[in-house]
């Protein structure tokens, strides 16, 4: 089961109705904190056979709460094979952001950054409830270096990332964003907020720039310097491509299938 809490609440009933052997949940976003929510998670998710979390923070949080009753696994989503395309693309896009227009994605901060870098192009891919608000702010402040492209077809995204120099992520909270992994595979410099624990595959100032705070000048200078010295990052980008391969859909699907098969066999005994 993957969805909001109304879906997770009915998991046990659905399992019984469908006569399923196993009940598995996947959590892609951030979890709430506090005693009340800890009680809710413990009560509901302990009924599950096992749980996937795309975010490492959520894995750690649930591992402490319910490890004795439901095993927890950290498992980001997979990267489609076409993101690993080695064909050469001109790097015509300075900065790209891919994500739904939701408050948690912090698009307003992106506009603040763009306003201080008028010579840098920012391409925002996605749609959502606050898109019109962000467009209106951009228009009122006469920020002319931000392009809104709306939703794009899935097969268009690899070309966009392969033509981009920097992938920007300013979210307040995330799981492990699939777009971040896809940007790794596509040869982008990664500049991101510490919206989750990415330490299994990213290290600050080694193969990415990861910021705990939204210090506008720090972000602006990092983008400016990265674009100026883009060719110097070739070794880092090649290394990131190699790291990203462990998150390919082929490997991810194999791990998930093996795990489900293992637990399914146990439940039958």
Each residue's pLDDT tens digit, 6-34: 778 888 899 999 999 889 999 988 888 89
Question: In Å, how far from its chain's centre is CA 186?
Answer: 15
Q: Are 234 and 211 in contact (CB under 8 A)?
A: no
Alpha-carbon gap, residue 81 to 132, rounded angstroms: 33
Alpha-carbon gap, residue 121 to 97, rounded angstroms: 11
Look over the chain and give the mean of its residue pLDDT values, rounded to a whole number.
92
The pTM of the full predicted model, rounded to 2 decimals, is 0.91
pLDDT at 239: 95
pLDDT at 67: 73
Q: At what angle do helices 35-45 and 56-66 cross, to 10 degrees?
A: 80
Which residue has better confidence, 70 or 132?
A: 132
Helix (H/G/I), strand (E/B), else coil: 209:
strand
pLDDT at 166: 98
Query: How distant, in Å, are the alpha carbons of 59, 124, 127, 168 from that of 223?
Result: 31, 16, 24, 9
Q: Is the pLDDT of residue 224 over 90?
A: yes
pLDDT at 5: 67
pLDDT confidence bin for 129, thresholds 50/70/90: very high
Each residue's pLDDT tens digit, 152-206: 998 899 999 999 999 999 999 999 999 999 999 999 999 999 999 999 999 999 9
Q: Which two tokens stand for residue 111?
A: 């506009």
Each residue's pLDDT tens digit, 92-104: 999 999 999 999 9
Q: Are 28 and 54 in contact (CB under 8 A)?
A: yes
Q: Are 120 and 114 in contact (CB under 8 A)?
A: yes
Q: Is the pLDDT of residue 269 over 60?
A: no
Which residue has better confidence, 22 or 119?
A: 119
pLDDT at 4: 67
Alpha-carbon gap, residue 21 to 261, rounded angstroms: 10
């Amino acid at each position: 089961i993957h969805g909001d809490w109304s879906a997770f609440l009915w998991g046990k009933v659905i399992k019984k109705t469908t006569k399923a052997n196993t009940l598995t949940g996947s959590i892609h976003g951030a979890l709430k904190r506090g005693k009340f929510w800890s009680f809710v998670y413990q009560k509901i998710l302990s009924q599950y056979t096992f749980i996937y979390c795309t975010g490492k923070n959520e894995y750690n949080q649930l591992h402490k709460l319910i490890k004795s009753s439901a095993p927890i696994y950290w498992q980001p989503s997979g990267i489609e094979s076409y993101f690993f395309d080695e064909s050469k693309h001109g790097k015509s896009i300075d900065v790209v952001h891919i994500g739904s227009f939701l408050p948690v994605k912090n698009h307003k901060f992106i506009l603040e950054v763009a306003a201080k870098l008028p010579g840098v192009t920012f391409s925002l891919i996605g749609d959502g409830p606050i898109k019109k608000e962000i467009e209106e702010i951009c228009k009122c402040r006469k920020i002319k270096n931000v392009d809104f492209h709306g939703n794009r077809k899935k097969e268009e995204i690899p070309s966009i990332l392969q033509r981009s120099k920097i992938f920007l992520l300013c979210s307040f909270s995330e799981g492990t964003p699939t777009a971040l992994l896809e940007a790794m595979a596509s040869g982008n410099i990664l500049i991101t907020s510490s919206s989750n624990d990415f330490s299994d595959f990213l290290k600050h100032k080694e193969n990415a720039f990861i910021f705990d705070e939204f210090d506008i000048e720090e972000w602006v200078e990092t983008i400016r310097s990265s674009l100026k010295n883009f060719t110097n990052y070739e070794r880092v980008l090649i290394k990131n491509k190699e790291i990203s391969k462990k998150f390919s859909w082929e490997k991810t699907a194999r791990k998930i299938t093996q795990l489900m098969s293992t637990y399914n066999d146990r439940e039958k005994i």
